[in-house]
Chain A
Amino acid sequence: MPSAAPIHLGPDYVRFMTGGVSINTGSGGSDGLPSQCRAFGCRVDAEGGRITVFLAAPQAADLLRDVTRSQAVAVVFSDPPTHRTMQVKGRDARVESLAEGDLARVSAYRTAFVQCLLPLGFTESTVRAFLDCPDEQLVAVTFTPDAAFNQTPGAQAGTPLIPGAG
């Protein structure tokens, strides 16, 4: 894979990614087979230079294996009420343990995503069920974004979020 320069995501994007939005993570194996897992929240470091998502290790076994091998990762963030969607990719992903404050982030994320979905007719028990995971099973996947795309449905879908990057 060619190397790409890191991109800087502005505060609006960071707010979006760390809010109560749907988050899904993908990677791929050497055989060309993709892997996928839903994430339970996101941390972006102060400079916007490093993105971390939280996953349930038993659910993410294939993805963690692929990330460890290829370091390639893609994460899609989507706000169900507005369909606003963005995807961020990186090529230096690592699997890590959670840092201080991450458990609180996961907990806040669950509450925020429940609040987002309740007006759409989902029940809290349904949302909490598919976001459920014992704390000790949570792992983090962290990466430097080198591409980011607008994926809101429409003609502009697939365009880079940051001109010149992606």
Chain B
Amino acid sequence: MIPFRALRDCLDGAIPGVVSTCAPDGTPNVAYMSQGQYVDSQHLALSYQFFNRTRQNILANPHAILGLIHPQTAQQYRVRLTYERTETAGPIFESMKAKLAGIASHTGMSGVFRLLGSDLYRIDQVEVVPGTTLPAPVPAVDYLPALRACMERLPATPDAESLLDTLLDGLERHFGIEHALVMMLDPGRARLYTVASRGYATSGVGSEIQVGDGVIGVAARERVPIRISHMTSEYAYGLAMREGAAPGLPPDTEIPFPGLAAPGSQLAVPIPGVREPLGVLFVESPTEMRFSHADEDALVALVAQVGALFRLFLAELELGEEAQPMVEKEPHPSGTPLRVRRFASNDSVFLGDDYLIKGVAGNILWTLLQDHQALGRTQFSNRELRADPRVRLPDQSDNLEARLVLLHRRLAERQACVQLEKTGRGRFRLVVCRPLELEDMDLGMA
């Protein structure tokens, strides 16, 4: 049996592997490996950065030996490999590219290490080299019990918002992960928006990044976990991720991304959806080499459940709503009116001079406020919003729940005079404590 956990530890460790090959005439070659990646129990991938002798040899004679040393036990392994193919795009390549950027930055090799391809090898045999070893240290986290403790609380959560809170609480309590956030995918705009976070000075709820940008964006685009063990500027997020202001827009509709200023390790895991991922769970730490393959395993298992529960919430809404008593029309509030502006060009909504939200969540708020203003309505359901053309959901499978979480959080954080209150499954109440003057800034411009 292949000791794949040990191999993963070796490939993650700081001791570089050694690759031996033979030319067709039998001349041996020995070289140090920059990066190796565990693919599955039968395959691993080595980085192809230069057309060197190793590369020439494996194209002519596919046999190679990879020598590895376990970073904790010092156990040496020799992995007999057969070269199969090279990938220059896709999940394995992108995952290795991100990791290599981290290694290059860590080792002062930025600009020298550039991934040309991922060479995929079949694992033929793993030899445990005889020698002196050290006892394996007791890991800080016992992963299976931690995963169980985290997972068993998730199905008891009643809605998307408490699901995400429970997830982040569990990561902190059972895995000691102190900095984490969840971003959801807006497929229509190819952007991800933050809906929940832990461990940052500001929550960053509503902050956005482009799909493909940094470890989170690459994880979403390639649908693969991206884990880097060393800080690298190549995958860092600037403090303000700006979307390029469009003409006629108010200047500042950006919410700063909340991430650590100097992360040592980062791990982004896509939350699976039916087609595109629903979003990305992102964790980071100031400590280098903080997240192991085992952390990645645990987070992948957790987000599989999170994704399934999101779909369950959606299905429940399709099945029907809880009966809701008729509510008397609520009186309009009194006081100085607050000007609420909406810019149709990016669906942004400003309360007074303060930017609140944009995109589909901006449309949702504007729809609610219009109905409140015109009809005096305060009671709404997720289901009717899904069908309302003014909300302009990109498609029927859209994750409306996540957009409501975003809107709810933004209003709560801003302590706005408009709030959303959950009144039942898929239902909520709009609470307005000040008169509002709605102004559609782009009316007549179209």
Residues of A participating in the B interface, judged by any CB pair closer than 8 Å: 1, 22, 24-28, 30, 32-38, 56, 58-59, 70, 72-76, 78, 80, 83, 85, 87, 89, 120-122, 125-127, 129-130, 132-133, 149, 151, 153-154, 157-158
The B interface is mostly helix, strand or loop, or mixed, namely loop
- Chain A: CB-nearest residue to B73: A129
* Interchain CB contact under 8 A, A151 and B130: no
* Interchain CB contact under 8 A, B31 and A76: yes
Q: Which of B5-31 contact A (CB under 8 A)?
A: 14-16, 18, 20-22, 24-31
* Interchain CB contact under 8 A, B74 and A126: yes
The interface stretch among B105-113, B207-215, B271-279, B315-323 is B105-113
21 A-B residue pairings within 8 Å (CB atoms) = A24-B30, A26-B28, A28-B20, A32-B24, A32-B26, A33-B80, A35-B20, A36-B18, A36-B78, A56-B131, A58-B130, A59-B76, A74-B20, A76-B31, A87-B31, A89-B27, A126-B74, A130-B69, A130-B76, A153-B50, A158-B52
* Interchain CB contact under 8 A, A83 and B109: yes
Tally of A-B Cβ pairs under 8 angstroms? 122
Query: Chain B CB within 10 Å — which of A56, A83, A121, A149 has the most?
Result: A83
- Chain B: CB-nearest residue to A125: B134
* Interchain CB contact under 8 A, B22 and A130: no
B: contact size bracket: 35 or more
Residues of A within 8 A of B27 (CB): 1, 28, 72, 74, 89
* Interchain CB contact under 8 A, B26 and A121: no
Q: How far does the alpha carbon of A33 sit from the alpha carbon of B80 in the complex, in Å?
A: 9
Residues of A within 8 A of B14 (CB): 120-122
* Interchain CB contact under 8 A, B53 and A153: no
Beyond A85-B32, A120-B14, 15 additional contacts (C-beta under 8 Å) are: A26-B20, A26-B29, A28-B20, A28-B28, A32-B63, A33-B22, A35-B28, A38-B76, A59-B129, A59-B130, A74-B27, A132-B132, A149-B53, A158-B52, A158-B53
Residues of A within 8 A of B21 (CB): 34
Q: How far does the alpha carbon of A120 sit from the alpha carbon of B14 in the complex, in Å?
A: 9
Residues of B participating in the A interface, judged by any CB pair closer than 8 Å: 14-16, 18, 20-22, 24-32, 34, 49-50, 52-53, 61, 63-65, 67, 69, 71-74, 76, 78, 80, 107, 109, 112-113, 129-134
Q: How far does the alpha carbon of A87 sit from the alpha carbon of B20 in the complex, in Å?
A: 12
Residues of B within 8 A of A132 (CB): 131-132
Q: How many whole Å from B303's CB to the nearest CB in chain A?
A: 31
Q: How many whole Å from B24's CB to the nearest CB in chain A?
A: 8
Residues of B within 8 A of A89 (CB): 27-28
Residues of A within 8 A of B69 (CB): 130
Residues of A within 8 A of B26 (CB): 1, 28, 30, 32, 70, 72
